[in-house]
Homo-oligomer: A and B are copies of this chain.
Amino acid sequence: MANFKGHALPGSFFLLFGLWWSIKYPLLYFWRKNRSGGHVQLNPDSQRLDLIEGVVKVVFSIVGILAEQFVPDGPHLHLTQGEGHSWFKLMNWQHSTMYLFYGISGVVDILTISPLGVPLGLDRLMLSVAVFIEGFLFYFHVHNRAPLDVHIHSLLLIAVFGGAFSILLEVFQRDHFVLELFRSSLAILQGTWFWQIGFVLFPPGGGTAWDESDHDNIMFITMCFCWHYATALLIMALNYALVWCCVRRCADRTGADLELGRLMKSSKNTSQKALLQESDEE
């Protein structure tokens, strides 16, 4: 859907996932750090979260595919048209294909938890493939358009391929907190940038269109992309701080009686670790 809604829809999906991840991963991180002390009562069942995430991914993908196919000017599942069998509404078909791969990624997420014994890391690989396919299709998507249109989509590709690469690393470095945060920030960036593309190319409410061949506009958009990422980092930082506060408050409320025991335990561990490190370094 080459209109405002066609960019707002995927933008919202990415934004939702990015925001969700920016809360989920710090939560899991603090939970892992504190588990041995028995403090935190939140105890997010990590597997159940992954299951829900997979289901939501599949649902979003189906919504996306249906929206692309059955909007009034959509292809309604027809791939060719007329007597010459010329291709019909390929744009919408390409978008459907993008959603399809996110759907596959969601299915693999679900299978990973199933008793089929799907190996860990396959879910990350499939997510990486889905993001790569998105970038791949976008790359050939913007042929023969106005310079600003090409440029604004090229910037998206940086977030997309950066994300695909970062998620690929997670195949080998699973549960690497820094990579998870990076992935979250790129998802937020993608989300807000899809909205930005919508606002620039299809100004809603009948605003004046941008001059798509003005070099100054291109320079501004380049910089604007950086500002979006700075904003994404700010949102990440706020969510992180929020989670940190919540976890601390929870811990304070429930943990007073357990504190003494934990402290003794942790100090014992620390001294053991110090000993180990010393002997390593000698």
List chain A positions with a Cβ less than 8 A from chain B.
29-30, 32-33, 35-36, 86-87, 90, 93-94, 97, 100-101, 104, 116-119, 121-122, 125-126, 129, 133, 136-137, 140, 143-144, 158, 171-173, 177-178, 181-182, 215-220, 222-223, 226-227, 229-230, 233, 240-241, 244, 265-266, 269, 278, 281-282
Contact = CB atoms under 8 A, between A and B. Distances in A.
17 contacts: A87-B216, A87-B220, A90-B216, A90-B223, A94-B219, A94-B223, A100-B226, A118-B240, A122-B178, A125-B181, A126-B233, A137-B222, A137-B223, A140-B219, A140-B222, A144-B215, A172-B173
Nearest to A121: B178
A125 B178 contact: yes
Contacts of A30: 117
Contacts of A129: 229
Nearest to A266: B282
Nearest to A173: B172
A32 B181 CA distance: 30
Contacts of A182: 125
A143 B219 CA distance: 10
A223 B32 CA distance: 42
A125 B181 CA distance: 10
Q: Which residue, of A100, A173, A223, has the highest number of chain B Cβ atoms within 10 A? A: A223
Nearest to A139: B222
Contacts of A137: 222-223, 226
A160 to B, nearest CB: 14
A96 to B, nearest CB: 9
A143 B215 contact: yes
A47 to B, nearest CB: 16
Contacts of A32: 281
B140 A281 contact: no
Q: Which residue, of A125, A173, A269, has the highest number of chain B Cβ atoms within 10 A? A: A125
Contact of A122 (B36, B93, B181, B241): B181
Nearest to A128: B182
4 tightest Cβ-Cβ pairs between the two chains A and B = A36-B282, A121-B178, A87-B216, A90-B219
Contacts of A117: 30, 33, 244
A101 B185 CA distance: 15
Contact of A219 (B35, B87, B122, B218): B87
B173 A244 contact: no
Contacts of A121: 177-178
A158 B136 contact: yes
